[in-house]
Amino acid sequence: MAELRNIDLNLLVVFQHLLEERNISAVARRLDLSQPAVSNALRRLRATLGDDLFVRTPQGMQPTPQAERLGGPVGEALALLSHTLEATQDFHPADSQRRFRIAMSDVGEIHFMPRLMEQCARHAPAIRIDSLRLAGADLRREMDAGRVDLAIGAFEDLGSGIMQRMLFRQGYATLFRLGHPTAHEGMGLKAFRAESHLVVSRAAPYGQVNQALEKAGVALESNFSVPHFSAVPYIVATTDLLATVPRKLAASTAPYFKLGMLTPPLRVPALQTNLYWHRRFHRDTGNQWLRALVVEAFADAA
């Protein structure tokens, strides 16, 4: 406890931002401080902890092993303290300037972000939402530390302490450009298999559709592929390729890109999309507000 009393909490805030930014100038901008003030904070923390903590390299300020060991516990402690202080105050979305962080996939961004931005502009004009690409152990670690407020998607292996609520289930639809010479609703498997397809190669957690395509006789290695869903409507709109994607993505992009939709002649399990949050923040009023916003905007009626 003697060492803890010697540490200014503000120094730990600077330390945490340096771990994230690896750049003194970036930390200064983020904290609205001068560069000398950040450098001085680092000098004081080095003297207190007896370690260099960060070493200047061509790749930026790289943490020492001691800094790496401190990073997780310090981040968790600061996040818990921040949320605790926020929880002692009434949350008023119309006045709040809070920034929320939501983990989702690229297909999730296409479906969720426009509506969330619209709702924030209407009901909480100073609130901001950042979307993040995280999954598995990385997502669990960030949720444990309080650096991710919610996750939306079909995530697995998040472990105990993570609460969830189902938002909706959906099937798949196949996109094609209007004017395609052969694609149409009701086309059979033989005709479907003979077409050229666009495959999303890194479709987790949507990889089940690729398995269904292979099982139906579509040779994935003989077709075109992209790593993410975001490029799909642009490509399909200017080619004769077919792309089988989650139905809500198809429905939201088809009108803008002049695309047709057909039900693929495949057996693909329905995809369930859930809302996830950490048990520690179950009663946090800001987190509660955001969860309610997501549920009201996107959840299927029970």
How confident is the model over 160-213, as pLDDT tens digits? Answer: 889 999 999 999 999 999 999 999 999 999 999 999 999 998 766 567 888 899
Query: For residue 93, is it within any domain?
Result: no
Residue 84's pLDDT band (cuts 50, 70, 90): low
| Residue-range definition of the domain harbouring residue 108 | 99-169+272-298
- State residue 256's pLDDT score: 94
If asked whether residues 40 and 164 sit together in one domain, one would say no
If asked whether residues 251 and 209 sit together in one domain, one would say yes
If asked whether residues 137 and 215 sit together in one domain, one would say no
- Residue 59: CATH number of its domain: 1.10.10.10
If asked whether residues 262 and 292 sit together in one domain, one would say no
Number of domains, the chain: 3
Q: Long-range contacts for 207-211 (Cβ within 8 Å, ≥24 apart)?
A: 208/268, 208/269, 208/271, 209/172, 209/244, 209/245, 209/266, 209/268
How confident is the model over 25-80, as pLDDT tens digits? Answer: 989 988 889 999 999 999 999 988 889 999 999 888 999 999 988 888 887 788 77
If asked whether residues 181 and 252 sit together in one domain, one would say yes
- Residue 237: CATH number of its domain: 3.40.190.10
Of 61, 87, 113, the position where a domain reaches its end is: 87
If asked whether residues 68 and 217 sit together in one domain, one would say no
Query: For residue 92, is it within any domain?
Result: no
| pTM (2 d.p.) | 0.70
If asked whether residues 147 and 18 sit together in one domain, one would say no
Query: For residue 94, is it within any domain?
Result: no
- State residue 301's pLDDT score: 66
Of 64, 87, 110, the position where a domain reaches its end is: 87
If asked whether residues 188 and 252 sit together in one domain, one would say yes
Beta bridge partners of 198: 224
Of 46, 65, 87, the position where a domain reaches its end is: 87
- State residue 87's pLDDT score: 56
- State residue 107's pLDDT score: 87
If asked whether residues 140 and 211 sit together in one domain, one would say no
How confident is the model over 286-297, as pLDDT tens digits? Answer: 999 999 999 999
In whole numbers, what is the pLDDT of the chain averaged over residues? 89
If asked whether residues 156 and 213 sit together in one domain, one would say no
Q: Kindly state the percentage of the chain with pLDDT values over 70.
A: 93
What is d(CA 246, CA 93) in angstroms, rounded to the nearest whole number? 32
If asked whether residues 36 and 83 sit together in one domain, one would say yes
If asked whether residues 48 and 64 sit together in one domain, one would say yes
